[in-house]
C-alpha cells in the first residue's frame, strides 16, 4: 500500500470516527433531554421548584465512553433540546444551572476515569464528581443562580428561604438553605446516578465504542 493510499485510509477512518462520535453525542443528548422531562419533586429534602431527574445518566455514560469534552457537549445538547421541547419557566437560569452543575459532575469523573479505565477509577471519578457537583451547586446557587432568578422573576430571596424553612426549621437564611437543602440534594443525585451508571456502563460500552 502506498503512503498516499495509507493516508487516505487513515483520514477516512478518522472522519468515520468523528461522525460516529457526533452521532453518539446527539443521541445521548436527546435521551438525556427526554429524561430531563421526567423530573419529580423530592419534598422531604428540597422545595417543589427543585426537581430530581436522571438526565445526567446518559451524560456520564457518554463521558466515560468518549471523554470529558464529549460529556460537556452532551450536557449542552441536553439543555438546548430541553429548552426547545419544554421551554423555560426560569428565564433560562434553571437550564444554565443544570449545565454548570452537570459539567461539575461529569468532567472530574471523566478525567479521572480517562487516566485508567478501571472499575476502581470509575468509582473514584464518580465520587469526586459528586463532591464537585455539590460544591459547585453551593457556589453557583448562592452567588449567581438564586440572586439572578430573584432579580429577573421578581421573587424575594426571603421566599426561597421560607420554602426551605417549611421543610427544615433550621433553615433561616440563604446559607443554611444551601447547606441543609441543596447540598444533600446534589449529593443524593450524584450517588444515585453513580450507582445506576456503575450497573449499566459495561452493558452499554460495547454499543458506544463499537467493540
Q: How much is the CA Rg of the chain, to the nearest whole Å?
A: 19
pLDDT digits (tens, 9 = 90+) for 154-176: 889 999 999 999 999 999 999 99
What are the CA-CA distances from residue 82 to residues 47, 113, 199 (Å)?
21, 28, 26
- The b-or-e profile of 152-181 (16+ CB within 10 A means b, else e) is eeeeeeeebbebbbebbeebeebeebbebb
- Rounded to 10 deg, the angle between the 56-66 and 119-140 helix axes is 130
**Can you give the residue ranges of every domain in the chain?**
3-209
Give the chain's length.
211
The residue assigned the cell 503512503 is: 3
The residue assigned the cell 430541553 is: 82
User: Could you confirm whether domain 3-209 is CATH 1.10.1760.20?
Assistant: yes
| DSSP-assigned beta bridge partners for residue 40 | 52
pTM of structure: 0.88
The residue assigned the cell 468523528 is: 18
Average pLDDT over residues 186-204: 90
> Is-contact 129 108, C-beta < 8 A?
yes
Strand boundaries in the chain, DSSP class E: 40-41, 51-52
Instruction: Return the higher-pLDDT residue of 9 and 153.
Output: 153
**pLDDT of 136 higher than 70:** yes
pLDDT digits (tens, 9 = 90+) for 52-108: 999 999 999 999 999 999 999 999 999 999 998 888 777 788 889 999 999 999 999
- Confidence at residue 69, expressed as pLDDT on a 0 to 100 scale: 96
Contacts of 100 (CB under 8 A, 6+ apart): 136, 140
Distance CA 118, CA 113 (A): 7
- Confidence at residue 190, expressed as pLDDT on a 0 to 100 scale: 96
- Confidence at residue 210, expressed as pLDDT on a 0 to 100 scale: 43
Between CA 197 and CA 88, with CA 191 as vertex, the angle to 5 degrees is 85
Amino acid at each position: 500500500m502506498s503512503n498516499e493510499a495509507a493516508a487516505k485510509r487513515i483520514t477516512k477512518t478518522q472522519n468515520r470516527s468523528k461522525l460516529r462520535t457526533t452521532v453518539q453525542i446527539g443521541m445521548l443528548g436527546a435521551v438525556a433531554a427526554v429524561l430531563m422531562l421526567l423530573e419529580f419533586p423530592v419534598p422531604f429534602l428540597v422545595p417543589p421548584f427543585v426537581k430530581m431527574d436522571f438526565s445526567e445518566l446518559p451524560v456520564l455514560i457518554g463521558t466515560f465512553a468518549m471523554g470529558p469534552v464529549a460529556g460537556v457537549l452532551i450536557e449542552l445538547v441536553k439543555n438546548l433540546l430541553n429548552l426547545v421541547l419544554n421551554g423555560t419557566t426560569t428565564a433560562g437560569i434553571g437550564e444554565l444551572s443544570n449545565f454548570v452543575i452537570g459539567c461539575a459532575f461529569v468532567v472530574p469523573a471523566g478525567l479521572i476515569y480517562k487516566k485508567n479505565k478501571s472499575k476502581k477509577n470509575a468509582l473514584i471519578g464518580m465520587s469526586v464528581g459528586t463532591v464537585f457537583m455539590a460544591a459547585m451547586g453551593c457556589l453557583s446557587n448562592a452567588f449567581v443562580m438564586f440572586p439572578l432568578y430573584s432579580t429577573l422573576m421578581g421573587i424575594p430571596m426571603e421566599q426561597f428561604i421560607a420554602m426551605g424553612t417549611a421543610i427544615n426549621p433550621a433553615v433561616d437564611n440563604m446559607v443554611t438553605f444551601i447547606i441543609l437543602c441543596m447540598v444533600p440534594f446534589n449529593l443524593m443525585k450524584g450517588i444515585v446516578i453513580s450507582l445506576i451508571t456503575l450497573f449499566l456502563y459495561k452493558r452499554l460500552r460495547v454499543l458506544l465504542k463499537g467493540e
